[in-house]
Structure 1
Amino acid sequence: MKASMAWGLLLAAGVLDVLWALSMKQAEGYTRPGWTLVSVALLASFVWLLGRSLTVLPVGTAYAVWTGIGAAGTAIAGIWLFGESLSLARVAGIGLIVAGVGVLKLAP
């Protein structure tokens, strides 16, 4: 697999991680069977994609990028979908995560 494909899989894994977090919220402590199944399917999917990307990418970089996408994406989704607080500190934190992901992506 080429590095560009691995990065694409990693990006997809990050997006699925965000969707997984949102599905866990909807599952309400895994008391709603439909959302629970969606959550488990998303979990399995992003773990598989992350594992595939690790065949090419360094584990430290890939894991940090994946968690960064998940953390920043979930924070943004929480603000947008659930009305979670939006403060200068949260925006700065998200910006730092995104900057860190960018630096890791560009690092040799």
Structure 2
Amino acid sequence: MAWLALVVSGLFETVWAAALGVSRGLSKPLPSVIFGVALVISMAGLGYALRSVPVGTGYAVWVGVGAVGTAAYGMAVLGDPATAGRITCLVLIVAGVAGLKVLH
């Protein structure tokens, strides 16, 4: 259950990062509220997961899921470049996160 919470928390990291970008420095109310709610959910899930997952592994997985999710969102929705090099780097992050889970 902790690993599921960790992945879901990483996805909420993607939500708060995207909302933060749209909020224009927290000056737009709705994206700012979405940012705050997603941030609290993300941190609460991370805290829950760290009860049974080592902090280094848990934090790395959480950041990896959030980073890959945010980069993929940027490419799919915001028009960020989706070059072979960028996609390769994201695949390497996923491989590293999977490796941390397997070697846990």
Deviation of the 1:31 alpha carbon: 1.0
Tell me, what secondary structure is at the counterpart of 1:82?
Answer: coil
For 1:34 and 1:75, the matched residues in 2 are separated by 22
- 1:86 corresponds to: 82
For structure 1, list consecutive stretches of 5 or more residues without a partner in the other structure.
none
**Aligned partners of 1:71 and 1:20: how far apart in 2?**
12
Q: How does 1:1-108 map to 2 (within 5 A)?
A: 5-108=1-104
Q: Tell me the TM-score normalized by structure 2.
A: 0.96
Root-mean-square deviation over aligned CA pairs: 0.8
Aligned letter for 2:12?
L
Taking the aligned partners of 1:93 and 1:69, their CA distance within structure 2 comes to 13
Amino acid at match of 2:68: A
Calculate the TM-score normalised by the size of structure 1. Answer: 0.93
Unpaired runs of at least 5, structure 2: none
Count residues in correspondence: 104
